[in-house]
Each structure stands twice: as C-alpha cells, then as structure tokens.
Amino acid sequence: MMLIVLFEFGCLLVDALQEIATTMGSKYWTFNADACRIETVGLTKKQTKGSQANSDCDCNFENSTVCHVATLTLKGFSLPGLLPPQLVKLPYLRKIDFAYNYLNGTIPQEWASTKLTYISVLVNRLSGQIPKYLGHITTLTFLNLEGNQFSGIVPTELGNLVNLQTLMLSSNQLSGYLPETFSGLRILNDFRINDNNFIGTLPDWVQNWKKLTRLEMHSSGLEGPIPSNISLLNNLEELRISDTNGPYQEFPLLRNMTSLVRLVLRNCNISREIPAYIWSMKNLEMLDVSFNKLAGQLPSTIGAERLKFVFLTGNLLSGNVPRSILRDGSIVDLSYNNFTFQGPEKPDCQKNLNLNLNLYRSSSEENNLRGILPCLKNFKCPRYSNCMHINCGGSDIIVKDENNTNVLFEGDGSVEGGSAKYFRNEKSMWGFSSTGDFMDGFELQNTRYSVSLTSSNLSELYTTARISPLSLTYFHYCLENGIYTITLHFAEIKFTNDKGYTSLGRRIFDIYVQEKLVWKDFNIEHEAGMAQKRLVKQVDNVNVTSNVLEIRFYWAGKGTTRIPERGHYGPLISAVSVVSNFKPCTNSGTVRTIYIIAGVVGGICLTLFIVAILWWKRCLRGKRGRQKDLLGRDMQMRTFTFKQIKAATNDFDSAKKIGEGGFGPVYKGHLSDGSLIAVKQLSSNSKQGNREFLNEMGMITCLQHPNLVTLHGCCIERDQLLLVYEYMENNSLANALFGPENRINLDWPTRVKICTGIARGLAFLHEESRLKIVHRDIKATNVLLDGDLNPKISDFGLAKLYDEEKTHVSTKVAGTIGYMAPEYALLGHLTYKADVYSFGVVALEIVSGKKNSYVPSNACVSLLDWAYQLQQGGNLKELIDESLVSEINGKEAEVMVKVGLLCTNVSPSLRPTMSEVVSMLEGQTTVPDTKPEARYHALKI
C-alpha cells in the first residue's frame, strides 16, 4: 500500500527536487524516492569532502502511508547557482540548510509563502538588501545569513518574526540602525551581528530579550557605551562585545549575569577597575577584557572555580600577580600591563608551572629589556645584532636574495602555539608573544597556531605561516640602535582562487611597528590581488632607539570567522626580515654579532670619503681599479649586479623612466621580491657625473633621517654606475606643484607638512648629523614625496662637508639658478646659510603654487622679487595659491610666507638656522619682523 502511494507522489517529488538542484547549480542529481534519500548531488559525481546531502521525510500522513520532505540539506558543495524558488513545491518543507556554497542573487520572494522554521545560507555570495518579505515567514525560529554580501539597512519587517530564537547577521555589509521592531523578538536567545557597519549604540530595548543566552557584537559598527540595562539579561551565557568606538566608560554592571560562561569585552574603552564580583562568578570559564584602560590590582583570591581562560592584555593593571590566578591547566595572558616586575624568584616565573602564562611587557620598566624579557632580573646584552630573518610557522630554510646570496630564515614552526604564548630564541635574540583563543573552533587550542599549504606554486617561504586569534608580536632585542628596513612577507594560504566557498574568506587585521599603526584593515588577498600569491610589504626608516624592535599584528574583529571552517580568523604572517640601513648583515643573513665601538659609523663614512677623494685625484686609476677598490671597501650598503638592475627596469625601458637626476635618468624598478626601487643611472664617460656619483654615494650612506631619501645600494660594474634608492610613489614636489593638470592635489595641511619636513631634513644635515653637510641644490625637484606625501630630500651629488670652525668655504659655484644665495652665486662663499636661502625660495613656491621663475609683470623678475614687492605694499595675501583660498589657515600661511622671506634675506647673518625655522613653522617661536631687502640678489641669480 505504501509503495503504491509513494509511486503516485514520487514523480512530483522527484521533479521538484530536480528543479531545486538544477537552480542551485548542481550538475549531478540522483534521488531515491522510495528511501527519501539523496544519492548523488554536486559538481562532480564523487561527493565533496566535508559536504552534507540529507533529506528527511515526514511520513506521519494518512496513517503513515504518505511521506513529505521536511528537511533538505545541501551543504559544502560550492554550488554556484541561485536560491531555488521551487521550494514552494514542497509545502511540508520546514528546514533548509544551504550553507557553504557559492550561491548568488538574493532570497526568492516565493519563500515568503512557505512555512519554513529553519533557514541557513551561511557562507554564500548572496547580495543586495535583505528582502522585506522575509518578515512574512513568521514560522521562522532560526535564520542564519552570516558570511554573505548583504548590504544596506536591516528591514523593520524582520521584527515580525516573533517566533525567532536565533538570528545571525555577522560578516555582511549591513549599515544603519538596528530596527526598533527587534524589541518585539522576545524569545530570541542567540543574536550575532559581528563584522558589519551598523551605527548608533546598543539600544535600551535589548532589555526585552530576557531569554537571550548569546550576544555577539565584534566590530559591529555600534558604538559604546554598553547600556546599563544589559544587566537585566540574566540568562546570558556568552556576552561578546569588542572593538567599539565611543566615550570611555566604567565596567558595565553585570552582577546579575550569574550564568555567564564566556565574557568578552575587548577594546571597548572601559576604564577604572574590574569589579570584584567578576572574580567570583561560578560558571565563568573565559574572561577577555584585553585592550582597554583597566587599572587597579587583581584580587588576592579568585573564587571563579571554572575560570580557565584569562586575557587581560593591553591594560594598566598594576601590583603583584596573585598566586590564585595561576591555576593548573589555565591560560593567562598578562602582557602589556603595569604589574610589578616579575623577577625569577616570583611564583609566576617558576618553570614547573602547569599552565600557559604570557608575561611579555607585563611590567612597566624604565629598562626596556626587562619588559620584553620577563623573569630575567639583570639581563645584559652579550652582543648586538643588526638583522633578523624569521620563517614564521615553518622550519629553518635558506633563501637566495637578489644578489644570489644565501640568507638563512630561522623557523619557529616547531614552537607549539597557545592562547597565551611567550617564546624566545635565546641564541638569536628574537621571539614572539601570541594572545587569544580561537573561539568556536573544532580543534583544541595549541594545535592551530601555524598553518601550511602542501601543494602550490609558492616558494617554501610562503607555504607556512603563523596565525593568531587576537594579537601576535614579533620582537628582536639587543638590536643595535639605528634606522632599519622591515620587510613583511605574506601569502593568503587558507583561502582559494576557485569558484568555491573557500574563496569567499576575508582576513582583515592591523599592523603596528614600534607601536605605530602602519596599516589599518590590512587584507592580504586584496593587496596581492588573489589568494595563494606572495605579497611583500616594506616599512622604511624604522627607528630603533632602545635596542628593541616590535612588530605587532592585531585582529580588530573584522573579516569572516567561518571560512574555510568555523573558528578561522586573525592575522597571518609568512616571514619577517629586518635589515639595518647603516650596516650589512653578515653570515648570509644569520644574526650578526657586533661589539659597539665608539665612533664606528663616523669612521666608516670618513673612510668612504677618503676613498672617493683619492679616486678623484687619480690615485685609483682605471675602470677595473675603480670597481675593485670601491667594492672592496666596507661601504655599508648593498651591492646589486647589473643583471639585477636590468631585470628590475625591464632593460631601462623608456616607459619606466620617471625623471632626470643630477647626473642621469631615473627609472622605476621591480625587484624579484616584489619591492619597488628607483634607479639613477650614470654614463661613466661623464667626469663631472663620476664625481657626483661618488659624492652622493658617500654622503647619503652616512645619513639616515625620515626626511632624507634612503639609498638601498649601488651597482659599479663594467662601464655602469648606478644608485638604487627607495621608490617614492608621488615623484617630486615640483611635479606635485607645477606638473600637468592631473598632478597631485596638495591641500594646505599637506603643504605645511611638506614644508616642515624639508626644514627638519635640513636641520639634521646642518646641525644634528655627525657630519655637517651643505646640500647646495635644494629645490622642489630635489624633494621627493612618498606614498603618504612625506617629503624626502634627494640628490646629494653637489653636497659638501662643512667645517663649523670656518666662516665659509670658497668653492666653485654649483647649483640651480634661482635658488642660489647671492653671496654664494656672486662670490663663491658657501655656508649652510646657502641652503637656508634655497629653502626660503621653496617655501614661497609651496605657499604660492608657482615656480620661482614665475613673472607676474614686467616690474619684477621672479616669484621672490614679486614676494618682496607684495611685502612692501602689505599685500602678501596675493602670494597665496588661489586654489587654497577656501581651506587655508591664514595664520599658518602668514608664518610660512614670512619664514620664506626671512630665509631669503640678502645678509646670511640675518637668516635663521634651520632648527629655528622648524620651531617657527611649528608655532613654538614667533617669526621676527624684517624689512624688505634690496632686490639685487633677486636678479636672475
């Protein structure tokens, strides 16, 4: 009898399911109607690993003689089609799970007439606004839209889903306020809105959700403070809020939440003390209040018997660490706090502790080494290093650099991970601190803090990586003070490039160097253009002043957390390189041991100058002699082969030419590791160019400052002389100010920053550097702009050493007409005040947006001459760039113009020093009034 009924209804059933599978993009489909079982489905005949295909039938109809499909699960197949409107042909269908596919489009309107109770479309490509008609399915108890691309505001109609118990909207692009109609969802017990763009605060009506057991708002966009009436939700077992903006607040009142198992209030601007009752919560297993402003001391006794995970990272907590928090089997992270220094005799420094404890920077110490080396009382550096190469999450490997030199990357893959992990490589003097637990993951902690990719076209360096669920800091101690270049190597090896759900992941994190944010919302895949492709990012001019370098990666709650599987997120790093800008790394990239000798840097630079002078005096003759002698000296710079430079510049392709330097063309280049460079080329047939080449190489090698361009190295091979510089994305200041119509728009704050930066660079050359130097060719063309429009002085081919004991240097005049000081141009008398004059001209160009050659009328011969005329007539405002009129700060503009005129005074003795100029531009001192000078010096100098 039952077989007859199944046959009568079977055709309709099978046809409907076939249509559903086809709409969803399945190429294969076989359904056994007699057994109510899906036998084949997907893009291949063989079932995808980890996928689920289930159909449950309810046969409680007509005395158990008729069956209807009640549940349909097609999960993890990466089906590329649409959500099927044909579900309406299954009127008894109650539950659908289409998670982990590649479905696009939106939710069909036909679904509004169904009586579904459970909808999961977790991790797909659904987009557009959440449909209003979804609110008509009032039978819904479970709705999961997480991990899609829904955008816009959440429709108020969802408030009609009065039977809803679970609502998951995380990892979309939703915005606007939470609908007030949500206050009517009174039986809601699970609400998650992580990783969205909502606005406003958590509404007061959340108090209506008395049955709520789980609330998640990681980087939801909602602001603080956390409302006080949240304490009425006394059934909450998991409260997770993080990365909210808003005013500082005290710890929210949670006394009545006695059911709490996991409490996460991370980076929520919470200050004052942690309430004492928190430490007595009987059910509490995890407490994460990291990265707030919490102060005070921890209690001597802790009554929360089940508390296992404690994350207090990044606060202002002080006092001793109580024994009661150091329980067997617990995970405790106290890093970045102000606790009393934990010497080797303290309980938390005992080696036999059966717990994971991280004390990195847990105490505030004047001795910087004490902070990063907890439990070591009187540590002194046995030696000083100046480079570091780490293969994160991998083994020791040898990598060939651009010079075909072997570089050892030390691996940390054998280091077990952990939720509160501190590791130190004592031999090489580096380590890492890792904070956080991968919540909701399938795997136990300690097993997933390094990842690998077994089959790919990536080089070995990029097939492994270290990851962290919250914060990961790599540090190098006993590092010689100075300027360093940091290279960070990435490859997104957990996501894919195919048309499957594993390609839908988004990994977003922040990167700090020396506690300075250098990249916000960093996305490896976005930066590289695809997954499983190497990405190299460089941080230049990193200043190490206390023999410690720190690179920190922080997850701020953004990005997906369920791709490729549940509990996967957080920062990922493949390798780290740290190289000194002032000394080479020896032993093929292994950590170098250097004993500090007073005056070593100055001595090396002077040696280099002597070599250059001897060469110029013909003491070192011939091409072979020149190459051998120059490369044989310790020039403290990297040497490139001509083959490398040719490859980087595509054989000096004219399309790569970006400018003309003081002694030849400049080309943009790409090194094999992906980093950008600028190559200045000189033909060896030019005697003047040879001298400038040596001069520039010698000068810039000895100089390191944020406002001076960085020289990466050189190539002296055959008849080729080349200098390799850091690449400056925005070309020169001249191009930005006077270039074609599509030039960079320099607003007023940027111009102030540029002018002040040039002044700082010159102050360093004249007054702060070990070797006092006069540049001799300061002009807008020789000021380069990096990606953030920070100025860097370049082209040191004409620079000269300056002896402070002499009143001036008599020398052959060299420079650029219009920028030379009169006493130098007419008499050959050179002092650092010549640079001050040139700076004054550039300052006037910056404020006016006009070249110094600008002639507004026959009554004047240059921009400077015009400025003096305007000063005499009291009309200096006419000098200001007309494009800035609406945004300019009048007081700052007046200061800049007056400084420019003061610097171009006819008398060198009346010109300020560059440190005085910096002080004036920054508003620390006033600009003295000056009378207009005679104009003889403005006449075509």
User: Could you say which of 243, 437, 777, 835 is catalytic?
Assistant: 777
Q: Are strands 331-333 and 309-311 parallel, antiparallel or unpaired?
A: parallel
Are the C-beta atoms of 78 and 98 separated by less than 8 Å?
A: no
Residues in the chain: 941
CA distances from 462 to 326, 413, 550, 896 (A): 37, 13, 22, 49
Contacts of 68 (CB under 8 A, 6+ apart): 57, 58, 59, 61, 90, 91, 92, 93
Contacts of 160 (CB under 8 A, 6+ apart): 135, 136, 138, 181, 184
Are the C-beta atoms of 679 and 764 separated by less than 8 Å?
A: no
For residue 747 the two structure tokens come to 């607003």
Which amino acid is residue 475, in one-letter code? F
- In DSSP notation, 534-603 reads -EEEEEEEEEESSSEEEEEEE--S-B-SBSSSTTB-S-EE-EEEEEESSS---GGGSPPPB---TTHHHH
Q: What three-state secondary structure class fits 658? A: strand
In 3D space, the residue among 354, 549, 565 whose CA is nearest the CA of residue 451 turns out to be 565
CA distances from 930 to 752, 904, 934 (A): 22, 11, 12
Which amino acid is residue 830, in one-letter code? L
**Active site (annotated) includes residue 56:** no
- Give the residue carrying structure tokens 């160009």: 845
3-state secondary structure 293-330: EECCECCCCCCCCCCCEEECCCCCCEECCCHHHCCCCC
Q: List, in sequence order, the alpha helices (H) in 617-686.
A: 623-632, 642-648
For residue 127 the two structure tokens come to 């987009």
Dist CA 219 CA 195 (whole Å): 5
DSSP secondary-structure letter at 177? P
Contacts of 884 (CB under 8 A, 6+ apart): 747, 748, 751, 849, 893
Residue 13 phi/psi, 5° resolution?
-65, -50
Q: What three-state secondary structure class fits 762? A: helix
Q: List, in sequence order, the alpha helices (H) in 788-862.
A: 822-827, 833-848
Give me the active site residues, please.
Answer: 777
